[in-house]
Amino acid sequence: MSDQLRLGVIGGTGAEGRGLALRFAIAGAAVTLGSREPARAREAAAHLRRQHPQAHIEGASHEDAIAQNDIVILAIPFVHAGPWVEAHGRALAAGALVVDVTVPVVFEGGRPRFVEPAEGSAAEHLRARLPEHVALACAFKTLPARMLQNADVALDCDEFVCGDSPASRQRLAALVERLPGLRPVDAGPLEAARILERMTLLAIMLNKRYKSHDARFRVLGV
C-alpha cells in the first residue's frame, strides 16, 4: 500500500473539508482528518465511513495529520487559516504541499462580501506566513461545498489551480485529476487567486439569484 495517496485534511469537520475528504477517499486515498479536537475528527471520520464503508478515513489531531501526510488540504475558514499556518507551518515536512481552499468572503447581514487581504488574496496571505520548505497551491476555491459532500453527484466542471511554482501546480493538478469529473485548469502563479477567490463570491451570488447550490465554472477554448 506504499503507493496509496495519503492526504491530511485540516478542518475536515466542516462542509468543504468533509466533502473533499469523502471524495478523495472514494477515489482511493487514505485520508486523515485533522482537528483541534481529535475526538470530533474521529467522530466525523466514523460518520463518513458509515456513508461509504470502503472509504479509508481516520480522525486525528492537527499534529498527527501533519506528521502522517505530505499533502495537507487546509479547509478551515480563512480567518483561522493564517493563525493555523503560523502555529503549524514549521511542523510540516520539507517538500510538503499545503493545498489552500480558503476564500476571504464574509457574510454581513446575509450578504456576502470579499474582504481583500493586504497581500491581495488568501493564498498570498498564507504564502507569506508559511516557511520556505513548504509549497503552497490552491484549488477547490470555487467548488460548491454542498455539492462536494454529495459524493453521488458528478462535479463535471473545471477546477482552477494556481501555485507558488510550476511544480506545486503540477502536483495539485494531478491531485485534482483523481476526482472524477474535474479537469484542472492551470491559472498560473498565486496572484491568480485574487481572481479565483472573487469568483467564489460570484458563484455565491449566482446561487442566490438563481436559487441553486451548484453554480460552478467551465472554461471553453483551452
Please state the closest distance from residue 55 (CB atom) to its own copies, in A.
25
Query: Considering only residues 125-184, where is the footprint of its own copies by CB under 8 A?
Result: 144, 147, 156-157, 160
Strand partners, 30: 6, 56
91 or 205: whose CB is closer to its own copies?
205
45 or 123: whose CB is closer to its own copies?
123
Task: Single out the residue of 51, 90, 106, 210 in contact with its own copies (rule: CB under 8 A).
Answer: 210
Regarding 28 and contact with its own copies (CB under 8 A), the answer is no
Give the rounded distance of the alpha carbon of 174 from its chain centre.
Answer: 14
Q: Where are the beta strands (DSSP E) in 124-181?
A: 135-138, 157-163
Q: What is the CA angle 32-35-38, rounded to 5? A: 85
CA distances from 120 to 104, 112, 115, 124, 207 (A): 10, 18, 10, 7, 25
Biggest CA pair distance of the chain: 49
Kindly indicate which of the ranges 29-37, 91-99, 129-137, 191-199 contains the residues binding its own copies, using the contact rule CB under 8 A.
Answer: 191-199
Report the C-alpha gap between 191 and 214 in whole angstroms.
26
136 or 192: whose CB is closer to its own copies?
192
Please state the closest distance from residue 191 (CB atom) to its own copies, in A.
9
Contacting residues toward its own copies, per CB under 8 A: 114, 144, 147, 156-157, 160, 185-188, 192, 194-196, 198-199, 201-203, 205-207, 209-210, 212-222
